[in-house]
Structures are given as structure tokens and as C-alpha cells.
Amino acid sequence: MPEITKGVYFIPGQDEMIPDAHVYVIGMPSSQDLSVVDAGLMGKGGYKIQAIQKLGIKLSDIKRIIMTHTHLDHIGCLKEIRAQIPHAELWIHEDEADPIEDGDERGVYGMEMFRSMCQSQYRLKSGDFKFKVDRKLKEGEKLDMGGLSWEVLHIPGHSAGSIALYERSQKVLIPGDVVYADYAIGRFDLHGADGSVLAKSLLRLAELEVEILLPGHNRVVKGVKPGYIRDTAKQWAPYLR
Ligand SMILES: [Zn+2]
Ligand SMILES: [Zn+2]
């Protein structure tokens, strides 16, 4: 089901030993103003670009890449994707945009042990995830793009600058790695993460009416049951202090 709902397309990640983030393409194709949400793991850019083209979307219509956050499994193939759409802008929440511009990759790798492991396995070097950010997103911004209106919610806790994109008319939530299907939530032990902050972010998301949940990994859910995020937050509350 590549088209999830009007103007929202799903390209599933292809997990390896490390997971590969899903990509969502948002916007009405007729608008010629499309956005790609997240990129994925190293080496996964090629098939994602092909998948976008298979949807009948012109790469020239993709105007920007918006990152829900900048963990390695989301930003790993950003360079590969940008090579195919060099005109597209890069939008990241301000709290992660600055480290990315400075080449501070602690937030990308999350922990030092993981950094050395990935750098040797994927032949990465320091500075590979340094990018210029065209727009630094802020809490509460409204993004009118491609015939749809998306609200930016800053929901830290899994990472410092995690955002959700919320489309109120169709009740679509793209929460990155903050909340998944099946009562799962993002990990909160990495650089920039904080369990008690994550608890607050979950409660914030719980206030939204969500029918379509499009997380960074695992299942997407259409027909989310009312109170799902609140129930998830409740289940995790004892661990998020
Ligand atoms: Zn993450
Ligand atoms: Zn992820």
C-alpha cells in the first residue's frame, strides 16, 4: 500500500543488522511541491529513489527533505538521496540542526561504542554527516506544503530534536521514533535522550486525534484506536522517570 491516504506515500525501510528507517513522501502529486520525510540507513538511498520514481513522482517535484531526527538509521543515506535530488532543501529541528551543521555526530551515532562499530563496518569517517541545514524547524510551526497543512511538534526524549508532523484534516501523525505500533516507543538511552522528557512528549502526542500512525520503523497503522498513544504512555510511565 504505497499510498496510505491522500497525499501520503509509504516506502518501507529494508532492515539489516541495523534498522533502516521508513521514508514517507508527503504532498499532492499535482502540487509539484512534495517532501520526503527521513532518508534511511547507509546504502539504502538507491532503492528509495527508485521506489519514489515507481510511484510516478518526478524527482524534480521533491522540494525538500525533512528529518524527524538525525539518528544514523534515518540520516545514513541522506547523502545518497541528495545526490539524486540536489535541489531539495534540508529541514531539521533547530536542536539537531546546529550539531549537524557543526559536524557534531554524537547525536547521529547515539553512543561511542556504536560509532566505532559503524565507522569500521560501513567505512564511515568523521564529518560524513555534516550538512548545511536550509531551514531550522521550530515547535508549533505550520508547514503548508503540497496542498496539505502539517504542524511541527517538538517531541524530545528519544533524541534532542525529534519532531512529529501532524496533519489534522486526515489525522495523520508521523512521529519518527517516538512512538510505534504495538505499544512500542523509541529507546531513551542514547546521546540527547531522556526518559522523563520522552514521557512528556508521549503525553503531548496523546492529546492529538490520530487515525493514521506512520512511525519510523515497523508497522504503519490505519484506524488507530482512540486513546492508543495515551495507553502506550501509561504502560511505559513506570520506566520513564
Ligand atoms: Zn531514532
Ligand atoms: Zn530509527
pLDDT in tens, 195-221: 999 999 999 999 999 999 999 999 999
Residues 6+ apart with CB under 8 A from 68: 37, 38, 74, 162, 163, 164, 165, 174, 175, 176, 177, 216
Express each pLDDT in 132-144 by its tens digit: 999 999 999 999 9
Rounded to an integer, the average pLDDT of 57-86 is: 98
Q: Does pTM surpass 0.95?
A: yes
Percent of the chain with pLDDT over 70: 100
Express each pLDDT in 4-19 by its tens digit: 999 999 999 999 989 9
pLDDT of residue 197: 98
Ligand 2: distance of its center to the CA of 55 in Å? 24
pLDDT of residue 125: 94
Ligand 1: distance of its center to the CA of 189 in Å? 11
pLDDT of residue 170: 97
Ligand 1: distance of its center to the CA of 31 in Å? 30
Ligand 1: distance of its center to the CA of 235 in Å? 20
Mean pLDDT computed over every residue of the chain: 97
pLDDT of residue 1: 59
pLDDT of residue 241: 86
Ligand 1: distance of its center to the CA of 103 in Å? 18
215 alpha carbon, closest ligand: 2
Ligand 1: distance of its center to the CA of 30 in Å? 32
Whether 162 shows a pLDDT value over 90: the answer reads yes
162 alpha carbon, closest ligand: 1
